[in-house]
Structure 1
Amino acid sequence: MSGTTADTATGATSRCRLLWMALAIAALVMVNAQDMPSPMCRDDELCTTVIHCTETDDSGRKGIGPRISRFCGTGRVCCERAQLESWNASLVDRVGSQQRTNRRPAGSSIRDKNGKVLEPEANESCGMNMECVPRKLCRDNIIIDDGRSIINPRIGVGQCSRSLHRCCEVNQKVDASDSPYVAKLNGFKYNNCGWSNPQGLIPDKDKYNYTEDVSIFGQFPWMVAIFTGRQQYLCGGTLIHPQLVITSSHNIVNETVDTLMARAGDWDLNSLDEPYEHQGRRIKQIILHPEFDPEALFNDIAILVLDEPVQLAPHIQPLCLPPPESPQVIDDLLSATCFATGWGAKDPNSDKLERTLKRIDLPIVDHDECQAMLRNTRLEQRFRLRPSFLCAGGIEGKDTCKGDGGSPLFCTLPGQTDRYQLAGIVSWGIECAEADIPSVYANVPYLRAWIDEKIKGLGLQVAAP
């Protein structure tokens, strides 16, 4: 009897293993069908879907990833061949493991060979009949206030593991077209330039554990991300008018209107979970400062004219321009509260960009004091800081670094706390985040006359504070 039972069990186990293997092979064939060579990709890359490239990423960078990769078709990007092959090789084990647990991991989807979702991804559970969904897809009239996240420690510190998600009653989930945020857009009224959203734009109080240097979604609505035509992040910019973006010349001097696009209202460059969607625009005209020096970076400023104006919204609003430079303007900036924002690298020794918008508070540094500090670096004693530059920072651990070029440095308007004006544009630095070595920005008050001349020539007008 025992021998017969063992034989039966062994046969059943073998059949299960064969079934798992067949499923794995079928899945592998489907995946391989979507990974193919393309003349738009390098020899060490394959053309695949954006989602497949994201889910196979084994680099650990978790930055903006494939979203800034080269496109090789609609919804398809060039992805590292070794990465895809490594993922495919482990597929058998993963399929077997999923069959043994008889469930799909949260956040995964079943797709056809073209990447189309056949079965939606499973949302993260956060309680009985509760799921974590993007906040825009949950009605605001159901707020979790019964203390369940406190009395059940197994849930963890936060109810949802992803930012901009909320724990939502299953019967309160809505389609994107019925999002409660859509109605708020219709009721938006623009007041004037420079107004920030100090608490961000999440009405039900986002309790996600952000790091101190993360800007809350919608906090600074003038921030613009500038991409190449292949959707690769290039630099930051500042919205100063629904149709005008200011950035640095050094970032775009080798670009054309056919290779650039601007994205206003973005926050997480690797997600579409924001309550309000970003707006992308092509570039109609690039205006470089005629005296821009590509080596010394004098007059490092450029104006991008969008092919059509962005639609102003709670998360998309222009920043005020400062008055032309004067002793009073400089004194106001030296006593103001100033911030710089961008998606640049946090680690001075890294090229890894950040996926969510960062902010740092930085003091403006007096011109002569900055020149003296910079003379103590490898620039040496004969260095002269030109008037088209303005300095900020020099605080250990706080600075704008690689990838922040073109992003704004903005300061509070005199006598106001939540309203700002553009003081500088991230340009260059000797080191990053080191004490007593400020970073250097294009001096917007000094360049204001040139800005006004170009805007007037376009037949446009920028509102005064």
Structure 2
Amino acid sequence: MPFLVPVSPDCGKPQQLNRVVGGEDSTDAQWPWIVSILKNGSHHCAGSLLTNRWVVTAAHCFRSNIDKPSQFSVLLGAWKLGNPGPRSQKVGIAWVLPHPKYSSKERTHADIALVRLEHPIHFSERILPICLPDSSVRLPPNTDCWIAGWGSIQDGVPLPHPQTLQKLKVPIIDSELCKSLYWRGAGQEAITEDMLCAGYLEGERDACLGDSGGPLMCQVDDHWLLSGIISWGEGCAERNRPGVYTSLLAHRSWVQRIVQGVQLRGHLADSGNTGSS
């Protein structure tokens, strides 16, 4: 009996079928919302599927190519990039909407972009949307979240064929501590209010080149939430240089304004808030 996926499936819940630095292979369909953004046919960045028409990624993935969507396409439902298989789907990009506060000239805040697909995709057990965190969600330091991607396995070393999606558990790092690690002197705030830091101060495990735009995923109750977008760091897996992520807690309302049908989840038990935000 084939698995039937509803037209608008519940977000953030894989329907399991029975290299990130220091990471490990993921299993097939473990993260069915992760997409590969291809530039001229080659893996360029990752992104996360929000609905059947929208992907969210990092704005810096498009830098000077915002007005050239035809160079890009999106590969959904792939696990091994080198052998995506017949169940994957490839779709063109209609247009890219970077956050209005993003500046491509400097490493900056608001490193988030929404990608409109050329046509709606079909959901399957390999292609499902992820949830956004609602206003009840807090991510205290040491919360364990996960990143995944097809990026380099260390600086200058691409993920070898067949390029199996890598995953890595990363704890959230206290924002004040992260600010101090990346401190550049007065008036040069490297870590802004809309950034999250996660990873390991000792280095050795981190996101790397080619992982940009992919998800920082945290499980709240039984849903996976898109808490952040892989944005930047200094080097890959270097000591006291944890990964820096664009926070979806900070940009959720902007995404909600544009993306019809994006699903929010969280737990409202401790917030006293009964309505959805």
Q: Same fold (TM over 0.5)?
A: yes
Task: Give 2:198's aligned residue.
Answer: 392
Task: Give 1:263's aligned residue.
Answer: 75
Correspondence 1:360 to 2:168 = yes
Task: Give 1:196's aligned residue.
Answer: 14
Task: Give 1:464's aligned residue.
Answer: 264
Correspondence 1:278 to 2:85 = no
Displacement of 1:298? 1.5
Correspondence 1:227 to 2:227 = no
> Which AA in structure 1 matches 2:73?
M
CA deviation map 1:78-117 (0-9, x unaligned): xxxxxxxxxxxxxxxxxxxxxxxxxxxxxxxxxxxxxxxx
Q: Is the alpha carbon distance of 1:335 and 1:429 closer, same or farther for their aligned partners in structure 2, counting shifts above 3 Å?
A: closer
> Which AA in structure 2 matches 1:196?
P
Q: Is the alpha carbon distance of 1:445 and 1:212 closer, same or farther for their aligned partners in structure 2, counting shifts above 3 Å?
A: closer
Whether contact under 8 Å (2:147, 2:214) holds in the other structure is yes
TM-score (norm 2): 0.84
Paired residues in the alignment total 254
Whether contact under 8 Å (2:58, 2:213) holds in the other structure is yes
| SS of alignment partner, residue 55 of structure 2 | strand
Displacement of 1:247? 0.5
Displacement of 1:288? 1.0
> Which AA in structure 2 matches 1:222?
W
Task: Give 1:451's aligned residue.
Answer: 255
Whether contact under 8 Å (1:250, 1:297) holds in the other structure is no
TM-score (norm 1): 0.52
Whether contact under 8 Å (2:140, 2:174) holds in the other structure is no
Matches within 5 A, 1:361-380: 361-375=169-183, 379=184
Matches within 5 A, 1:111-150: none
Displacement of 1:374? 1.8
Task: Give 1:15's aligned residue.
Answer: none
Displacement of 1:307? 1.3
Q: Is the alpha carbon distance of 1:212 and 1:342 closer, same or farther for their aligned partners in structure 2, counting shifts above 3 Å?
A: closer
Q: Is the alpha carbon distance of 1:389 and 1:400 closer, same or farther for their aligned partners in structure 2, counting shifts above 3 Å?
A: same
Whether contact under 8 Å (1:344, 1:400) holds in the other structure is yes
CA deviation map 1:296-352 (0-9, x unaligned): 22100000011111111111100001124xxx633x45464300011111113x142
The structure in which a higher percent of residues are helix is: 1
| SS of alignment partner, residue 78 of structure 2 | coil
Q: Which of 118, 139, 146 matches 1:307?
A: 118
The structure in which a higher percent of residues are strand is: 2
Alpha-carbon distance between aligned partners in 2 of 1:298 and 1:188, rounded to the nearest angstrom = 37
CA deviation map 1:212-246 (0-9, x unaligned): 61111100110000012x31111000001111000
Displacement of 1:292? 0.3
Alpha-carbon distance between aligned partners in 2 of 1:392 and 1:252, rounded to the nearest angstrom = 24
| Identical amino acids, percent of aligned pairs | 29
> Which AA in structure 1 matches 2:144?
T
5+ residue gaps, structure 1, are 1-182, 204-210
Alpha-carbon distance between aligned partners in 1 of 2:95 and 2:140, rounded to the nearest angstrom = 31
Displacement of 1:461? 1.9
| SS of alignment partner, residue 184 of structure 1 | coil
Displacement of 1:380? 5.1
Q: Larger Cα Rg: Structure 1 or Structure 2?
A: 1
Matches within 5 A, 1:72-83: none
Task: Give 1:432's aligned residue.
Answer: 236
Displacement of 1:419? 2.2
> Which AA in structure 2 matches 1:236?
A
| SS of alignment partner, residue 450 of structure 1 | helix
> Relative contact order (alpha carbons < 8 A, sep ≥ 6): 1 or 2 greater?
2
**What is the alpha-carbon root mean square deviation over aligned residues?**
2.1
Q: Is the alpha carbon distance of 1:262 and 1:447 closer, same or farther for their aligned partners in structure 2, counting shifts above 3 Å?
A: same
Whether contact under 8 Å (1:237, 1:408) holds in the other structure is yes
| SS of alignment partner, residue 180 of structure 2 | helix
Alpha-carbon distance between aligned partners in 1 of 2:186 and 2:200, rounded to the nearest angstrom = 18
Matches within 5 A, 1:92-241: 184-185=2-3, 187-189=4-6, 191-197=9-15, 200-201=16-17, 203=18, 213-228=24-39, 230-241=40-51
Correspondence 1:287 to 2:87 = no
Q: Is the alpha carbon distance of 1:406 and 1:448 closer, same or farther for their aligned partners in structure 2, counting shifts above 3 Å?
A: same
5+ residue gaps, structure 2, are 266-277
CA deviation map 1:180-219 (0-9, x unaligned): xxx524x34464100135xx52x2xxxxxxx961111100
